[in-house]
Structure 1
Amino acid sequence: MKIRQYEPKDLDQIIELFQQTVYIINRQDYSANQVNAWVNSTTKSTRYSKWAQEFERNFTYVAEEEGEVVGFIDMTEAGYLDRLYVHRYFQRAGIASLLLSEIESTARSQQLNKITTKASITARPFFEAQHFQTIKKQTVEISDAKMTNFLMEKKLKRF
């Protein structure tokens, strides 16, 4: 497996990975109504164009195994970690940790002092294990579904 920079050709696989991960993995912590709202908050074409622009603007990396995208991560220039998803068949294989390590290295090279994210209930234990601190519990509304997430941050040490 390798971690590399995002390329536009990855977008179809990324969107499919995102949808399947939310439907299957996040379904452990959210209702069917909530995951449907999460995945269907925008049309596929709107998500496609929005994410394509954001991935080009952000620091975006993918984990690739035998030509297939098995995980992805992106962070804004300000240090907001927007998305981190790992394929449902590759959960708990260290991929999220490798992707986060790449983003942390990028953040340090950009002289950022911290990374922030809004973690799902499902992702919160991972981020806590990676030394992120919970700033606050939040309720967000997507379509008509109310969902819990956590504003979290990690202060970066200089090497």
Structure 2
Amino acid sequence: MASKGGAAPSTYTPARTPTNKAQRPPFFTDSDVDWTRSDGRGFHQCRSAFFRTGAVNSAAGSAYAEFGNTKVIVSVFGPRESKKAMMYSDKGRLNCNVSYTTFATTVHGQGSDNREFSTMLHKALEGAVMLETFPKTTVDVFALVLESGGSELQLHTNL
């Protein structure tokens, strides 16, 4: 804009419209934060965690993990020649086995859903292991739950 003789230049300032954003209520109220969990942790406290690799010497890879009261050892063997080598396969096989020690749970026989956990572990790992690069081979993953304190599936899947 051209200014006329001696007048101050004018500037454009957009009109500020008041924002009428409604404030969302907090997700947790103060009464929610005050309670403690059954294991004695506070509302915002995480479980203690400990991880160590190389737990099993004979395995190609292994790890030991503690997450709260849950203790798990996971071992990976392979890739090695498949016992079904007579049949040619363009991609390798993935075998997953989850088992519980007899003293893993406080209730006898509670860790008997090994087959279901083995299937879930297989489904979680089959996308991560590139079996196409290992034709006629087998990769074995064994997870042994030493103590069951909850969330075993997440722990041995992440190891």
Give the TM-score normalised by the residue count of structure 2: 0.26
Which has the larger strand fraction?
1
Give the TM-score normalised by the residue count of structure 1: 0.26
